[in-house]
Amino acid sequence: MKNILVVGSLGQLGSEIAIGLRRKYGSDNVVLTDIRDDVNLDLVQGGPFYKMDSRDGEKLLEVVKKHKIDTIYHLAAILSATAERNPQRAWDINMNGLITSLEVARQEKCAVFTPSSIGAFGPSTPKQYTPQDTIQRPTSIYGVSKVAGELLCDYYYHKYDVDTRGVRFPGVISNMTPPGGGTTDYAVDIYYAAVEKHHYECFLRSDTYLDMIYMPDAVKAAIQVMEANPDKLRHRNAFNIASMSFCPEEQAAYIRNLIPDFTIGYDIDPVKQAIADSWPDCLEDYAARVEWGWEPDYDLESMTEDMIRTIQARRG
**Which residues are the active-site residues?**
142
CA distance 151 to 188: 30
* Candidate segments 17-25, 32-40, 94-102, 179-187, binder of ligand SER by CB under 6 A: 179-187
In this structure, are strands 210-214 and 244-246 parallel, antiparallel, or unpaired?
antiparallel
Q: What letter does residue 27 receive in the DSSP assignment?
A: G
149 binds ligand SER (CB under 6 A): no
171-202 b/e (C-beta count within 10 Å ≥ 16 → b) = bbbbbebebebbbbbbbbebbbbbbeeeebeb
User: In terms of residues, how long is the chain?
Assistant: 316
Short-list 59, 73, 57, CA closest to 5: 73
Which of 114, 177, 184, 245 binds ligand SER (CB under 6 A)? It is 184
Q: Does 183 bind ligand SER (CB under 6 A)?
A: yes
Binding segment (CB under 6 A) for ligand SER, from list 35-43, 116-124, 192-200, 213-221 = 116-124
Name the helix (H) or strand (E) containing 171: strand 171-173
136 forms part of the interface with ligand SER (CB under 6 A): no
By the rule CB under 6 A, 166 interacts with ligand SER:
no
For residues 213-252, which are near ligand SER according to CB under 6 A? none
Write out the binding residues for ligand SER, residues 48-87 only, by CB under 6 A: 79-80
Asked if 101 is part of the footprint of ligand SER (rule: CB under 6 A), the reply reads no
144 binds ligand SER (CB under 6 A): no
49, 157, 169, 239: which one contacts ligand SER (CB under 6 A)?
Answer: 169
CB nearer to ligand SER: give 97 or 171: 171
Candidates 182, 248, 280, 296: give the one binding ligand SER (CB under 6 A). 182
Q: Which residues of 153-162 are buried (b: 16+ CB within 10 A; e: fewer)?
A: bbebbeeeeb
Ranked by CB distance to ligand SER, the top (closest) residue is: 182
Give the sheet arrangement for strand 116-117, strand by strand. Answer: 116-117, 167-169, 239-240
- Contacting residues toward ligand SER, per CB under 6 A: 79-80, 117-119, 142, 169, 171, 182-184
